[in-house]
Amino acid sequence: MMRICLTLFFLFSLGLTAASAQTNQQLGSYLQKSRHLKPTSNHLERLSKHDYLIQYFASFPYFSNGGSANADFLRSLMIAESSVNTNAVSPADAYGLTQITLSTGREAARSILKYNYDFQYVDEKRLANLRVADLHDPAINILICSYLIGKYNAKYGRKLALVVSAWNAGEGAITKYKGVPAYKETMGLIGRVNAYYLYFIGIKGTG
C-alpha cells in the first residue's frame, strides 16, 4: 500500500499537465513500462563509493526558491544515465556518472565559479579549464550535475518530468513543446529516473 501511495503521489508531482495530452499519454506509457525498475546490487555498491560526494554537493543552495539538488534524485540520475560508471561515454559525447557534454560542463563550470565557493574535493582551476578528462572525475561531475539540477528545480518547481526534460533535451525543447518534449529518449529517461527515485523514497518511507 505504501508503494502504491508513493507512486500515485509522485506521478501527480511530475508536471504532466504542462505538456500536450498526446505527450502525456506517451509519457504515461513509459512510466508504466519502467515502474518495476530497481537499482541492482552493483548499482548500490557503486553509489556507496560516491555517497560522500553526493551528500556534499547536494547540500549547496545554488539557487533560491528550491534551487538545490536532492541526493536521491542524483543517485537515480546516475543509475539511469550511466549505471554509475565514471568512465561512461555516450554516442552524443556525454561523459561520466551523469553524462555531461563538454560544452554544457564548461558553461556550468563558469557559472559555478561565480559563487566563489571554496569546494572540497574539487580544484577550482580545473573548473576554469574544464576538459573531457575532468568530467570523468566523480567530484567534478557530481558538482556540475548538482548545480544544473538545482537550476532546473528552481525554474520548473521541482517537477521531475520537466527537470529531466531540461537535463536531457534542453530548456529550449520545453519551451518549444510547452512542456515535456515528445522525444522517446527523454520520456524513457523520465520513466527510469522516476522508478529509481520512487525506490529510494520508498526505502526511506518504510525504514
pLDDT digits (tens, 9 = 90+) for 136-193: 999 999 999 999 999 999 999 999 999 999 999 999 999 999 999 999 999 999 999 9
Q: Is the pLDDT of residue 12 over 70?
A: no
3-state secondary structure of 27: helix
Model pLDDT, residue 4:
35
Q: Is the pLDDT of residue 207 over 60?
A: no
Model pLDDT, residue 192:
97
pLDDT, mean of residues 18-25: 71
Where b means 16+ CB within 10 Å and e means fewer, 130-158 reads: beeebbbbbbbbbbbbbbbbbbbbbbbeb
Q: Is the pLDDT of residue 46 over 80?
A: yes
Greater model confidence, 151 or 67:
151
Share of the chain above pLDDT 70, in %: 88
Alpha-carbon distances of 7 from 37, 102, 186, 196, rounded to whole Å: 13, 35, 20, 11
- Quick one: pLDDT band at residue 203, thresholds 50, 70, 90? confident
pLDDT, mean of residues 8-29: 63
- Quick one: pLDDT band at residue 23, thresholds 50, 70, 90? confident
